[in-house]
Structure 1
């Protein structure tokens, strides 16, 4: 699957083969340990997209995608915890703000790790989290339904929506504090290991200097919807990992070869689309390709279950773990339009 030659790709491969893959089934049952996060930091992978002047690698997008595929294919839970970090880094690098000078370097070097608490903004016009201006800063009220990496992240990128439909992005400490309460870790069918909680915000106060961006909900959607319509590199990473299992069985070699060829074709098409400028009217085309990638992910993980036979029902089975991770990726970052497209595709056969 390797298509780029870059030191970070080599480091990701070494991390995957030496640590993540051998421990993936244990992590799936017990949770992502802090030592895994430290290993990702030491490999420099938290700075893959960060500017060089702030200590990052500023690597090409192909490198970022490939390292994501490698990590997700080895241990999707670890990938999911660390992938949250890259969006806050990109936002800080893109928009000038006082908080950039405070946080971008420690985030780029891996001294700190960030999580995200803004997917709920996609629920607009429903507003799960409100941002209310007050003297010297902002007050946040509501409930963040999903926050991943609790207890592993240092800071979080939090967003709320104002009464005038403005989205306010701020950084806050990712810890229990007055007016911020985390739920117990969620028990999920897949990726329970990623330490996902919900956050209750009862008037959490954040100073003005913690604001990284203010934008209208309409402008946010114009940027976010095309981006969310792209196929995730993790889909290709998990699918290829499943096909590796299939190929290890005599009766599965031809199945793995056929599915891998189709997967690689969709991968090339998905990344070519993602590299194009993203006008809003491109969303249907991207979602169609994303749905094809989902179809192949489902076929690959199903083939791994079939090839594994009864052993696949054991909770320690790699095939079962990959199948559950594939199920998770079907809804990760899902928008209403993506749901409609995917369901329509399933209905039409």
Structure 2
């Protein structure tokens, strides 16, 4: 039997010893800096970073397994650190001054990054517009969702130019001229992850802060290939809910979970990203439905106690609702609604 990857072992240790025991408290408060300090020390922030920059360059299977483990233990903590991996991948795939300045600190956990780009999926609406100004770029508009405010060191901000180009640039994750954050949003789930909206009114960033420029059509096509797949965090929440059920109730749900997860991961590992898109989307929907059933069963099992905000089953059920709409596209929404009504 092959030994687990060291990062999987560290993720399991963090989950069992730190995250899961405090998850209900975190859910009612906010992700503590002490949790993130342990994540930084663990090496998990460099999971998909190149080795030459201090990362682990771990295979996708390790990212999936650690995602399942962390999300199932404390979804709020998982979600804050999950934002970090997109900036790392963006820098790893693109050359430029900002790569040499930030990729090393991000890979080693010296810096923690957030992302502000989901609004690009609203196209042809343009919530954030980018224009040239002096020797840099000016950002104007509203970022509806930014997670990790007050917890992250830097943020990767995206907007659209007048020529239909997507532009990503880094800045410090703090209020500054042209950037103002709302109060943390009160959400049904993951309020602890400190999600805010950002108002951009002439935020100016130098050209050397730009990490990526690409046509929106190209970015959107790549984004679709990512969001069409089942989210490993969904499987993590499902696994956590199954531990709250008796074996007779859990057994058929566990079998269904195994079936869907095996099929979903087989498509990711065994075919090109642009192949079997309909099958991938169907499995994403099926994964959400297994999660919904498992978390509902956990609430039913807990009875009246499940209505306490400090109850684990109730927390998992709310986190399941969050994951159903996280990284949602028009396509995934339509597929899920068809499954619910069909």
Which of the five TM-score ranges fits, normalised by the shorter chain? over 0.9
Report the CA distance between 1:306 and its aligned residue.
Answer: 1.0
Segments ≥4 residues shifted beyond 3 Å? none
SS at match of 2:21: helix
Report the CA distance between 1:284 and its aligned residue.
Answer: 2.3
d(CA) in 2 for partners of 1:115, 1:86: 9
d(CA) in 1 for partners of 2:266, 2:133: 44
d(CA) in 2 for partners of 1:298, 1:74: 17
* TM, length-normalised to structure 2: 0.98
Report the CA distance between 1:135 and its aligned residue.
Answer: 2.3
Kindly tell me: are residues 194 and 23 of structure 1, through their superposed partners in 2, closer, same or farther at Cα, counting changes over 3 Å?
same
d(CA) in 2 for partners of 1:4, 1:298: 32
What residue is the counterpart of 1:257 in the other structure? 251
d(CA) in 2 for partners of 1:345, 1:217: 30
What residue is the counterpart of 2:4 in the other structure? 5
What residue is the counterpart of 1:249 in the other structure? none
1:282-321 deviation per Cα after TM superposition (whole angstroms, max 9, x unaligned): 4322111100001100011011111111111111000000
d(CA) in 2 for partners of 1:144, 1:12: 31
Unaligned stretches of 5+ residues in structure 2: none
d(CA) in 1 for partners of 2:204, 2:67: 34
Alignment of 1:227-246 (within 5 A): 227-246=226-245
Kindly tell me: are residues 259 and 3 of structure 1, through their superposed partners in 2, closer, same or farther at Cα, counting changes over 3 Å?
farther
Report the CA distance between 1:133 and its aligned residue.
Answer: 1.4
What residue is the counterpart of 1:304 in the other structure? 298
Report the CA distance between 1:254 and its aligned residue.
Answer: 1.5
Unaligned stretches of 5+ residues in structure 1: 247-251
d(CA) in 2 for partners of 1:132, 1:283: 35
d(CA) in 2 for partners of 1:135, 1:282: 46
Kindly tell me: are residues 3 and 77 of structure 1, through their superposed partners in 2, closer, same or farther at Cα, counting changes over 3 Å?
farther
d(CA) in 2 for partners of 1:4, 1:89: 27
Alignment of 1:264-279 (within 5 A): 264-275=258-269, 276-279=271-274
SS at match of 1:330: helix
SS at match of 1:64: helix
Structure 1, 143-152 or 283-292: larger mean CA deviation: 283-292
1:9-37 deviation per Cα after TM superposition (whole angstroms, max 9, x unaligned): 11111101110000000000011011111
What residue is the counterpart of 1:289 in the other structure? 283
Alignment of 1:95-244 (within 5 A): 95-244=94-243
What residue is the counterpart of 1:318 in the other structure? 312
Kindly tell me: are residues 335 and 238 of structure 1, through their superposed partners in 2, closer, same or farther at Cα, counting changes over 3 Å?
same
What residue is the counterpart of 2:68 in the other structure? 69
Report the CA distance between 1:4 and its aligned residue.
Answer: 6.8
* TM, length-normalised to structure 1: 0.96
Are 1:4 and 1:63, in contact at CA under 8 Å, matched by a contact in 2?
no
Q: Matched residue pairs, number?
A: 341
1:123-164 deviation per Cα after TM superposition (whole angstroms, max 9, x unaligned): 100000001112211000000000000001011111000111
What residue is the counterpart of 1:35 in the other structure? 34
Q: Which residue, out of 312, 334, 337, partners 1:340? A: 334
CA RMSD of aligned residues (A): 1.2
d(CA) in 2 for partners of 1:222, 1:187: 32
d(CA) in 1 for partners of 2:70, 2:299: 21
Are 1:68 and 1:79, in contact at CA under 8 Å, matched by a contact in 2?
yes
Structure 1, 262-271 or 319-328: larger mean CA deviation: 262-271
d(CA) in 2 for partners of 1:129, 1:271: 34
Are 1:226 and 1:282, in contact at CA under 8 Å, matched by a contact in 2?
no
Report the CA distance between 1:3 and its aligned residue.
Answer: 9.0
Kindly tell me: are residues 130 and 3 of structure 1, through their superposed partners in 2, closer, same or farther at Cα, counting changes over 3 Å?
farther
